[in-house]
Structure 1
Amino acid sequence: MTIAPESRRLLTVLPMTGRTHGSRSASVCHWKCADACARPDENTSGTERFVDVARQALQRRASRRSVLAGTVAGAALAGLSGIAPAAAAPRPRVAVGSTGAFGFTAIDPVGNTVDDVTVPAGWRWHPIIAWGDPVEAGAPAWDPQNQSAEAQKKQFGYNNDYLDVVPFRGNGNRGLLVANHEYTNDELMFPDYGTTDEAARLRNLETAMYAHGMSVVEVKRRGKGAPWEALRRSRYNRRITLDTQFVLDGPAAGSPLLRTSEDPTGTRVFGTLNNCAGSTTPWGTVLSGEENVDQYFTGPTDPTAREARYGLNTAGRGWGAVQSRFDLRNTATRNEPNRFNWVVELDPENPDEAPVKHTAMGRFKHEGAHVQIAPSGHAVAYSGDDNRFDYLYKFVSRDTFREGPSQAARRHNKTLLSDGDLYVARFVGDGLADGEYDGTGTWLPLVVDGRSMVPGMSVEEVLVYTRVAADTVGATGLDRPEDVEPSPVSGFVYIACTNNTRRTGAQTDEANPRANNKDGHVIELREDAGDPTGRTFTWTILLLCGDPEDESVLTYFGGWDGPVSPISCPDNLAFDDAGNLWVSTDGQPGTIGYNDGLYLVPVEGPERGRVQQFLAVPTGAETCGPQVKAQDGYVLVAVQHPGDFGDASYANPRSTFPYDGVFAGARPACIQVLPA
């Protein structure tokens, strides 16, 4: 394949060229997370990670039950003490069979060259909406050769991540599709990317800026089992962009740390950025996590320690040339980054209502946030900070949930995330004598009853610089904790730790047992006494991901000793109505050699840990935003950055997904998978 001149230029300047991990190309690293792996770790606090505790426990005793013998314990000792693990018999590569909510037969792993959505026999996939499709009234038809910011403001954005169809007022055949638009791959979007024409460069830059944000689109279907279709005309359709005004609420709202020359009140901010995972609340709103926002800011040239903790030492994307607030060399906008990295709440049923950024839930690189209602009625939200060696957080609302469909109850419930207590997790291993990677944990208080629990920091400082507060109290750094999902059946909480190739053998512990953890793992957390508002918990590792045929990698699948589908780099999580866990991946073509996909993982009963692959996304793509609607018989998936390879460009696409004939290249899209 011929590499276009603009792609050659891109490849020569990207910091991650030749240094990528997993499946990511240098361009994914550049656009998605600002070349994070080429920069120093943002967490340099030196927080204790309980290495000595784990090492002593492993040295005392490493006996395991037969499922783990010679694999989990042996490899752990190799990682911590230099003792070679015993050889383990390879498992069959594919978990073939029927199980779970849909009774499907697991697909064979799909190689990197397959540019298609692969689904089980008896299933089909259907595109719902893709980048550039009209959303708001007056939106022009998408024209890839003539893009503009004004058009993009009304069209479906790029790189959809979180995705859900929220039922519309009791009508099972109408709904409101809500999607995040995390970031853009500019070199795949524009035919003149890399142009030296300044006007064209700024036009592309502004168009990409407005391809971020969120979309709300009304959808309908003919009946159960029929595909969702997007409506082009609906009063509910809207784009949330950099022109959308958000309300900052909670204890830090109005703080001097949130004020700028454009907003001297510190209570209003335009736009939301790098929206990654999310969730639908029990009261019907949608939460969205703002993640790698540091990449949009130029400078500052002299970052403070607190700013550096949030990655604010990058060159940025040049957005300051379009909107001055993204250039931190301007002291009047120095606080602008503090107005991002929050959990955002959007009411899809109220298009005229300003979305909210909840300061009470803390500021960090939120992958997302998921709410469950405790027996006491309090709303409890869990959130991971997607960064190497960063933390797991919990928010407990001050007020309690009100049952019922009344508008008064809904209005009250929409205030639950505005005030409450904030905690961060410390994990302690109990040694390997019990044959498990498990232990106990404590929720360390950051803000309780409106008071800071962190020495030397005010409530406002704790909430705006939550990472610094967590460093101070001694939280446990995890291997990029991304999506965090409570089971609707058991209430147990599951944490996807995607990977961490920077973890050394000296830094391993029971909660993070592998050095150079390229494949990631999933942790199961059980709140003591089943009370999500409590201060203590127990935990165990459910999955140590990887290819079980690779004897050099420590793998474990919940105790299941039969065939499994190889899986790597867990990212987003979901549950079906029966309580089965579903795991989507981001990065496994470069670790185990297969396209990313969506996997079923039972967490209870005799098939606990039996990983089975349900679908695979096209080449270069990431599997995002899964929703498993078992009672309705379908699955939703957001296909993000299809065809993203280092030599790909607008002129030289590496994927043609979703194969619609509109565009020779690939378009990120939301799809539905249904029985054929």
Structure 2
Amino acid sequence: MRRARRRRIRRYRARILGFRLRASTESVGAADANADPTSLITVAKGLRVHVVTAQPNAGANIDQMALWPNDQNPTHLIVANEEGTTRPGVQRIRLSDGLVETILTGTTSGDPIRRTPWGTILFGEENGTTGWLIEIADPLHTTNVLFDRTTGASSDPAHVIARPAPGRLAFEGIALYPSGVMYYGDENRPGAATPGGAYYKFIPTTPWNGQQGIANSPLVAGTVYGLRLGKNGAAPGTDNGQGTQTGLGTWVFVTNAPNANLRAAAATLHLTGYYRPEDSEIDPAALADGKVRFCGNNTGNEATDHDWGETICITDGTLTQALANTAVPKCSSWCSAPPTSR
């Protein structure tokens, strides 16, 4: 059954995804790619590709992006740049002409970026145990703000505010729900100290009140829990670790104090680990049905381990149950990627 599903995915992925990567026998050199970036990708019939910007001040390592002000009629891209503190951390790109302007500098390894239901931008650093989560108001008019990674303060505290309540880690995937309940992963690989990157859940002390603006952000304070799969035995389950990467589990209390080192807690609390969790996205159909389901990619290690990565999906009951933390979380493997399907 699984093999048949993989064959169907390979056969129809261009129709499903709208594009296909070039085969490994085809190559585009740097000079050709710079001259015509559209040569790097072949899209399905009916789709077109164009370059959003080629401005020299654009970040050299742009990662995740958010459409602004909405998905239906965006005017800008708000982008994270995965470079160091002297380079732009967050920029806006005007879609009409490719104009690039810097919103924030002073950050390092910018990666996840999300548009919040209350009308701000949420941005995270993928930086070991010290990554910051930062919230930005009015991203079209907030310009050249400097962030201090040591203190967590910004040169414009009315528009750029650090959010230490969800803890500190290498932020990557973020699944943010309207109440302010947030699920996120630590991009960490397995090692002697931890079994890999864990997934966390933040429940705000005060859920979002439905009003717009950074003053109404529910990310000010709350409680952090970590995902531990395996419910067999005495609560929260004596079966945990390798062999229980999927199935039912428990949200284990981690902390309600700000600036917590969540990676250290993963080892202490025996949280379930994965190989470098990457981006996560909310299932819109489940959300429309009032339920929590998000899916994320765990990178794996192709070159050294031939560990080809995987996509997992996590459910957490209804939106009401997720906020009350009364559901039993479940993790399912949606798709693994052996070399024959890549």
TM-score band, normalised by shorter chain: 0.7 to 0.9
Q: Is the 8 A contact 2:174 2:183 kept in 1?
A: yes
> Equivalent residue for 2:95?
219
**CA distance in 1: counterparts of 2:5 and 2:107, whole angstroms:** 49
Compared CA separation, residues 419 and 162, structure 1 to 2 (3 A): same
Question: Which string of whole-angstrom CA distances, capped at 9 and with x for unpartnered residues, describes residues 519-574 of structure 1?
Answer: 11111111135532225312211111123x4xxxxxxxxxxxxxxxx24xxxxxxx
Compared CA separation, residues 397 and 498, structure 1 to 2 (3 A): same
Task: Select which of 10, 21, 27 maps to 1:114.
Answer: 27
Task: Select which of 102, 109, 131 maps to 1:341.
Answer: 131
Q: Is the 8 A contact 1:94 1:108 kept in 2?
A: no
Which structure 1 residue ranges, 5 or more long, are not aligned?
1-66, 72-87, 134-141, 143-154, 184-207, 221-228, 242-270, 295-309, 311-339, 449-458, 504-515, 550-565, 568-676
> Equivalent residue for 1:425?
227
**CA distance in 1: counterparts of 2:266 and 2:75, whole angstroms:** 39
Q: Is the 8 A contact 1:482 1:495 kept in 2?
A: yes
Matches within 5 A, 1:523-542: 523-529=312-318, 531-533=321-323, 534-535=325-326, 536-542=328-334
SS state at 1:493 partner: strand
Matches within 5 A, 1:95-134: 95-96=11-12, 100=16, 104=18, 107=20, 109-111=22-24, 113-115=26-28, 116-130=40-54, 133=55
Q: Does 1:362 align with 2:167?
A: yes
- Following TM superposition, by how much is the alpha carbon of 1:91 offset from its aligned partner in structure 2, in angstroms? 4.0
Compared CA separation, residues 362 and 94, structure 1 to 2 (3 A): same
**CA distance in 2: counterparts of 1:124 and 1:442, whole angstroms:** 45
**CA distance in 2: counterparts of 1:93 and 1:360, whole angstroms:** 40
**CA distance in 1: counterparts of 2:303 and 2:264, whole angstroms:** 21
> Equivalent residue for 2:75?
175
CA RMSD, 1 decimal: 3.4
- Following TM superposition, by how much is the alpha carbon of 1:216 offset from its aligned partner in structure 2, in angstroms? 1.8
> Equivalent residue for 1:230?
98
Letter in 2 for 1:110: A
Compared CA separation, residues 396 and 543, structure 1 to 2 (3 A): same
Q: Does 1:392 align with 2:199?
A: yes
Task: Select which of 443, 468, 480 maps to 2:276.
Answer: 480
Q: Does 1:441 align with 2:249?
A: yes
TM-score relative to the length of structure 1: 0.39
Matches within 5 A, 1:506-521: 516=305, 518-521=307-310
Matches within 5 A, 1:304-323: 310=129
Matches within 5 A, 1:442-591: 442-448=250-256, 459=257, 463-490=259-286, 491-500=292-301, 516=305, 518-529=307-318, 531-533=321-323, 534-535=325-326, 536-547=328-339, 549=340, 566-567=341-342
Compared CA separation, residues 344 and 93, structure 1 to 2 (3 A): closer
TM-score relative to the length of structure 2: 0.74
Q: Does 1:273 align with 2:108?
A: yes
Specify which structure has the bigger relative contact order, considering alpha-carbon pairs within 8 angstroms and separated by 6 or more residues: 1
Q: Is the 8 A contact 1:344 1:357 kept in 2?
A: yes
Q: Is the 8 A contact 1:402 1:412 kept in 2?
A: no
Letter in 1 for 2:252: L
Q: Displaced runs of 4+ in structure 1, greater than 6 A? A: none
Q: Is the 8 A contact 2:90 2:103 kept in 1?
A: yes
Compared CA separation, residues 97 and 486, structure 1 to 2 (3 A): closer
**CA distance in 2: counterparts of 1:369 and 1:211, whole angstroms:** 23
Letter in 2 for 1:398: T
Letter in 2 for 1:442: T
- Following TM superposition, by how much is the alpha carbon of 1:379 offset from its aligned partner in structure 2, in angstroms? 1.0
Question: Which string of whole-angstrom CA distances, capped at 9 and with x for unpartnered residues, describes residues 46-87 of structure 1?
Answer: xxxxxxxxxxxxxxxxxxxxx15xx7xxxxxxxxxxxxxxxx
Question: Which string of whole-angstrom CA distances, capped at 9 and with x for unpartnered residues, describes residues 29-57 of structure 1?
Answer: xxxxxxxxxxxxxxxxxxxxxxxxxxxxx
Compared CA separation, residues 523 and 109, structure 1 to 2 (3 A): same
SS state at 1:495 partner: strand
Letter in 2 for 1:125: V
Q: Is the 8 A contact 1:289 1:368 kept in 2?
A: no
Compared CA separation, residues 417 and 517, structure 1 to 2 (3 A): farther
